[in-house]
Structure 1
Amino acid sequence: MSKRPDKLSEDDRVLWNLVARTAKPLKGRAAVDIPDIAADTKPTSPQAAQPAANAPGAAKPKAQHVTHRLDEPTLDKLAKGRLPIEGRVDLHGMTQDEAYSLLFSFLHRAHAGGVRYVLVITGKGSSSGGDGVLRRAVPAWLSTPAFRPLVSSHDHAARNHGGSGALYIRLRRVRS
C-alpha cells in the first residue's frame, strides 16, 4: 500500500473546492464556510474579459483564432475505438464558471501528462427545446487565448460517445 501525500496539489484543491460547494450539510448541522481559493487561481472567463476589451481607449482585440476541426480519418478512428480516448470530463449540471475552471484545469493536466485525445461531455441542453448553454459555450472557449496553447482541434463526438452533447478534443503535443 502506498502512502498518500499530506498536501493537495493546486489543481486538486481547485477541484475539491468546486465539489465541496455543491455539498449540502446534514440536517441540523451548520454549513461550513469554504474559502474561495479557486477565484485566485482560475483564469478569467470569457464573459469577464469582455467589458475590459470594449472599454474606450483599449487596444482593438486581435482576430480570434479559430480552432481547426478534426480530420475525417481521425474522427472515424475515434468513433470506432481504434484511437484511444485517454481522458474524459463530464460538465453536466455545472454553471459556466464551474465548467470553465474544471475544463481548463483538466485540459492543462492532460496536456502536461502528454495525453493526445480527450472527450468533454457538455450535455445536449435543457428539454425545453433550447440549446444547452455549455454545449454552445465550450467550443467558443476552446478558441480563446487561454486554451490556444493546449488545444489543437476539436469536433462533435460520435453518437456512441455522446453525439452533439460531447466533443472530441485533440491536445497539442508537449514541446520538449
Structure 2
Amino acid sequence: MSRRRVRPDELELWSQIARSAKPLPGSLKSRKLSPSEPTVPNSRPSKPVTENVSPFSMGAKAPDHTDTHYFPKTAADRLHAAPVNMDHKAYQRLKRGKLTPDARIDLHGMTLDRAHPALTRFIMGAHAKGHRLVLVITGKGAAPDPYDPAPRQRGVLRQQVPMWLQMAPLAAAVLQITPAHQRHGGAGAYYVYLRRAR
C-alpha cells in the first residue's frame, strides 16, 4: 500500500498546531516538514483547534414537552374531528337526539364476519327505501380488565363500524356518521345519516 503525499494545506495546519504545542522536557525540538515527506507525524496537539464555535448550553434546542405515550384515537374521536356534511341545524338536532331513526339494526354480539355483510345489506336496503336516518347498534364492548398487562380497546364492532361505513360500497350512501344520543344507545350506537336516493 503506497502512502500519499502531504498536501500544502495540511502542512500549514500542522505548522500552526506545532507552534502552539510545547515540547516535552528532554525531547528534541520539532522539525519542519517538507512537502516531499510522505506522512504527517503522529504527535497530537495539546490545544484543540476551534473555528468560530458558537456558545451553547446542553438541551437548549430540545422540545419543552415530549409525549412519552401514544394513545391511538378512538372511533368517537375521529368522528368528532370529521367535517359536518349535512345541514347544520339538522346535525345539531341529530346530536341532541331530537330526530327519530327510520330504521335500526342491532349488531351487538355478532362476530366481525357476520356483522359486516349484515351492515352492508341493511344500509343499502335502507338507502334504496329512501330512509334518511338509521341507527346502528354496536354495543360498548366488554369492561376493561384492571389486571390486564396490555391495555386493549374495548368494543371491536364499535371501532370497525365507522370504518366500514366510510369505505365502498357504503360510502356512496352515507352522508354523516355520529355517535348516538343517550336515549338511542349513547356510546354503543351510531346515527347514520344517508344521502337522498336518486
SS at 1:154's partner residue? strand
- C-alpha distance in 1, partners of 2:102/2:174? 15
Corresponding residue number in structure 2 for 1:146: 169
Name structure 1 gaps, 5 residues minimum.
Answer: 1-65
What TM-score, normalized by structure 1, do the two folds share? 0.56
Root mean square deviation of aligned Cα: 2.3
Corresponding residue number in structure 1 for 2:16: none
Per-residue Cα deviation, 1:60-90 (whole angstroms, up to 9, x for no partner):
xxxxxx9754666334423555433100000
- C-alpha distance in 2, partners of 1:159/1:149? 28
Q: Aligned to 1:104, which of 120, 126, 137?
A: 120
Corresponding residue number in structure 2 for 1:134: 157
Corresponding residue number in structure 1 for 2:184: 161
CA contact (8 A) 1:67 1:154 kept: no
- Choose between structure 1 and 2: higher helix proportion: 1
Aligned ranges 1:4-153 → 2 under 5 Å: 68-69=83-84, 73-78=89-94, 82-129=98-145, 130-153=153-176
Per-residue Cα deviation, 1:79-134 (whole angstroms, up to 9, x for no partner):
55543310000001000011111110001110000000001000001123541000
- Please report how far the alpha carbon of residue 160 of structure 1 lies from its aligned counterpart in structure 2 after TM superposition: 1.3
CA contact (8 A) 2:165 2:174 kept: yes
Per-residue Cα deviation, 1:5-52 (whole angstroms, up to 9, x for no partner):
xxxxxxxxxxxxxxxxxxxxxxxxxxxxxxxxxxxxxxxxxxxxxxxx
Cα 1:174–1:103, aligned 2, differ >3 Å: closer, same or farther?
Answer: same
- C-alpha distance in 1, partners of 2:167/2:190? 16
CA contact (8 A) 2:97 2:181 kept: no
Q: Tell me the amino acid that sits aligned with residue 173 of structure 2.
A: L
- C-alpha distance in 2, partners of 1:141/1:112? 18
Name structure 2 gaps, 5 residues minimum.
Answer: 1-80, 146-152
Determine what percentage of the aligned residue pairs are the same residue: 44
CA contact (8 A) 2:97 2:183 kept: no
Q: Tell me the amino acid that sits aligned with residue 119 of structure 1.
A: L
- C-alpha distance in 2, partners of 1:73/1:137? 28
CA contact (8 A) 1:91 1:122 kept: yes
Which of these two proteins has the greater Rg computed from alpha carbons?
2
Number of equivalences: 110
